[in-house]
Amino acid sequence: MSSVVGSPGAAAPESRRLADFLTLTKPEITFNVVLTALVGFLAAAHGSGIEVLVLLQTLLGTALVAGAASTLNQWAERDLDAVMKRTGRRPLPAGRLTPGESLIFGLGLAAAGTTYLSLTVSPLASALAALTAASYLLVYTPLKRVTSLATVVGAVPGAIPPLIGWAAARGRLDAGAWVLFLILFFWQMPHFLALAVLYRKDYARAGFRVLPVVDPDGASTGRQSVLYALALLVVSLLPTPLRMAGPLYFLGALVLGGGFVYFGVRLAVSPDNNARASALFRYSLLYLPALCTLMALG
């Protein structure tokens, strides 16, 4: 289907086009990806010194691949984005950029990011970054219109960035890396379920089978939000016994995780309450950088 408004591309001022290309990379999501890769690197290097140049190279390469994944996702879903109010003003459905130039931009970022990581950091870090983008685009993206379990599948590539940082610092993946993977995996679930409650009409309009769309009374959505928040609380405490972080982190993770469970329970009690879904979503946005900061401080 076509949703082009006006003449794309050439008529737009150069500054606007640059801003639109930046928008394709979803800077806020890229920031979270880079943040979790940073935490993975710092946790792996804990007690052994930080190679600043390798860290910066890791973050740059990770950012390039994350931006590529977001760009190519918007390219693949441009027609679906056009029918949703939340995404209809993005550069592709609004016609400010063409599909061709967006595809080239996304592929270029992916090639640059994975190559850069391979040459400057390690083949393992590069392979993990490539796996993140490939599984997000080739598995999660098409599954969203097939099953609500796509959210669980999509949480896997979303949890890989700390593994990239860990691999960059140590050259291998240890138990601590998988703890970070689980923390991010479980965090994503209530985060996205809350978002899906808020935009369930939009998702239904586009044919995305997210849980709040196929769960009309919201009971399963609320229950899963609580269960994933509880799982997150448990795994978020593991860095301390694994000596990845100290007692201050443990206390902070306990308090932050308890807050997550609290907001999940509030949604479970009233699963069709948008205000409670919004509160859970906003708390999830505060939770991740707060936990990452505590872990980085050790």
| Per-residue model confidence as pLDDT tens digits over 64-109 | 999 999 999 999 999 999 999 889 999 999 999 999 999 999 999 9
Quickly state the pLDDT bin for 5 (edges 50, 70, 90).
Answer: very low
**In degrees, to the nearest 5, what angle opens at C-alpha 13 toward C-alphas 10 and 15?**
125
280 CB burial (10 A radius; 0-12, 13-18, 19+): buried
- Judged against a pLDDT cut of 60, whether residue 9 lies above it is answered with no
Q: Is residue 32 part of a domain?
A: yes
Q: Is residue 56 part of a domain?
A: yes
Are the beta carbons of 44 and 166 closer than 8 angstroms?
A: yes
| Same domain membership, residue 183 and residue 167 | no
CATH no. for residue 97? Answer: 1.10.357.140
Q: What is the pLDDT of residue 12?
A: 52
What mean pLDDT do residues 148-173 have?
96
Report the range of poorest mean pLDDT among 43-52, 147-156, 167-176, 191-200: 43-52
Element (H, E) at 25: none
Strand segments (E) across 9-98: none
Q: Is residue 3 part of a domain?
A: no
Q: Please state, as a whole number, how many other Cβ atoms lie within 10 Å of the Cβ of residue 258.
A: 11
The whole domain housing 249 covers 174-298
Among 172, 197, 226, identify where a domain stops.
Answer: 172
Quickly state the pLDDT bin for 272 (edges 50, 70, 90).
Answer: confident
| Same domain membership, residue 178 and residue 166 | no
100 CB burial (10 A radius; 0-12, 13-18, 19+): exposed
| Same domain membership, residue 161 and residue 92 | yes
Pick 201 or 10 by higher pLDDT. Answer: 201
| Same domain membership, residue 129 and residue 77 | yes
| Same domain membership, residue 270 and residue 186 | yes
Structurally, the chain folds into a number of domains equal to 2
Torsion of CA 150, 155, 158, 162, to 10 degrees: -160
Torsion of CA 47, 48, 52, 54, to 10 degrees: -130
Q: What is the pLDDT of residue 257?
A: 97
Among 172, 194, 226, identify where a domain stops.
Answer: 172
Q: Can you say whether residue 278 is alpha, beta or left, with left for phi > 0 and alpha for psi between -120 and 50 degrees?
A: alpha
| Same domain membership, residue 77 and residue 35 | yes
What is the rounded CA–CA span in Å between residue 200 and residue 209? 9
Reported as half-sphere exposure (CB side, CA atoms, 13 A), residue 93 has a value of 18
The tokens describing 50, both together, are 């930080």
| Same domain membership, residue 275 and residue 144 | no
What is the rounded CA–CA span in Å between residue 228 and residue 28? 23
